[in-house]
Amino acid sequence: MRLGVLDIGSNTGHLLVVDAHRGAAPLPAFSYKEPLRLAEHLDETGAVSQKGIDALAAFTSQAQQVAEEKGCEDMLAFATSAVRDAVNSDAVLAEIDERTGLPIEVLSGDDEARLTFLAVRRWLGWSAGHLWVFDIGGGSLEMAGGADEEPEVAWSLPLGAARLARQHFDVDRPDEDAVRALRKQIRADIARDAGRMLRHGAPDHAAATSKTFRSLARICGAAPSAEGPLVPRSLPVSELSEWIPKLVAMNRDELAHLPGVSASRAHQIVPGALVAEAVMDIFELPALEICPWALREGVILERLDQIGGLA
């Protein structure tokens, strides 16, 4: 069957059209996305502004049209931390439903972590053994670990790259004190609950997903996306640590010219790098394998499992 998966993230709205069948890998057929930047459309009260709502409604309407033109039988629409954490979340969803007729499900942080873990487990397979998975999004950091398809632990922290950039780096090039303060905060937040995963023992395999991790891996020498998803890619903590002072010293134009970095996300690279480094240091991981599957694939796989269970 052909599915449309509409992912309303903190940075981007992304419609992925896939040909999906139970027991087979979801095959991407078409992709349509726009840089909504909902995390940056929050006012001082924490509400999504009307400008943000209008942008989301316009994108959702266009995505529905694209999905129809591409022959989608069904549409799975979900939103993550930017909508989830907004104080007017219910009002935003109600207005989008009224204007477009498409209900959007808001995933909890734990569900984001759980579904991302499912996607990575299916990609890597059972040979990955006891698996740890990390995902830096625009609004949140997801972490999960376990030996099965359902993780033993899964949780989310408000440490997304866009959120941290908005809250802490409102200038082109942050000073050393700002970087040091943010680094300290990130590590304290991650370490607070790190024992939830550490008490289960070291992993056989540790993986990362998301645009932030992919960009950092590319900066550190990983193969470009043009070489395809089957090329192994990893992010070594030693190389990332060497790069961070260089990244801090760059302005946004310089960051935007790095391999794997888009101009719209250049301001998020430094906070994203600080989160990635903290994850690897606190969990004592020398490197993370970059997995091409993430939350969207997890949503698709769970839906296919549910359809198969009803057959």
The per-residue pLDDT for 301 is 93
Say yes or no: 100 and 166 in one domain.
no
Residue 302 lies in a domain: no
Mean pLDDT of the chain: 93
| pLDDT tens column, 4-44 | 999 999 889 999 999 988 788 888 999 999 999 887 788 88
Residue 208 lies in a domain: yes
Which uninterrupted H or E stretch holds 201?
A: none
Q: Going by C-beta distance under 8 Å and a sequence separation of 6 or more, which residues neighbour residue 215?
A: 260, 261, 265, 269, 272
Report the CATH number at residue 48.
3.30.420.40
Say yes or no: 156 and 96 in one domain.
no
Residue 307 lies in a domain: no
Domain limits for position 83: 2-106
| pLDDT tens column, 252-271 | 999 999 999 999 899 999 99
Neighbours of 60 (CB within 10 A): 24
Say yes or no: 114 and 102 in one domain.
no
CB 278 within 8 A of CB 192: no
Query: What's the pTM value of the predicted model, to 2 decimals?
Result: 0.94
Residue 311 lies in a domain: no
Say yes or no: 7 and 63 in one domain.
yes
- The b-or-e profile of 240-271 (16+ CB within 10 A means b, else e) is beebbeebbebebeebbebebbeeebbbbbbb
Say yes or no: 126 and 274 in one domain.
yes
CB 215 within 8 A of CB 268: no
Say yes or no: 16 and 117 in one domain.
no
Say yes or no: 59 and 168 in one domain.
no
| pLDDT tens column, 271-285 | 999 999 999 999 999
Neighbours of 73 (CB within 10 A): 10
Residue 271 lies in a domain: yes
Residue 137 lies in a domain: yes
Say yes or no: 65 and 128 in one domain.
no
Say yes or no: 147 and 38 in one domain.
no
Number of domains the chain contains: 2
Residue 83 lies in a domain: yes
Residue 301 lies in a domain: no
Say yes or no: 234 and 170 in one domain.
yes
Locate 235 and state its tokens: 């992010």
Q: Going by C-beta distance under 8 Å and a sequence separation of 6 or more, which residues neighbour residue 256?
A: 262, 263, 266
CB 136 within 8 A of CB 158: no
Of the chain, the percentage scoring pLDDT greater than 90 comes to 83
Say yes or no: 23 and 134 in one domain.
no
Report the CATH number at residue 209.
3.30.420.150
Say yes or no: 168 and 179 in one domain.
yes
Residues (pLDDT < 50) of the chain are: 310-311
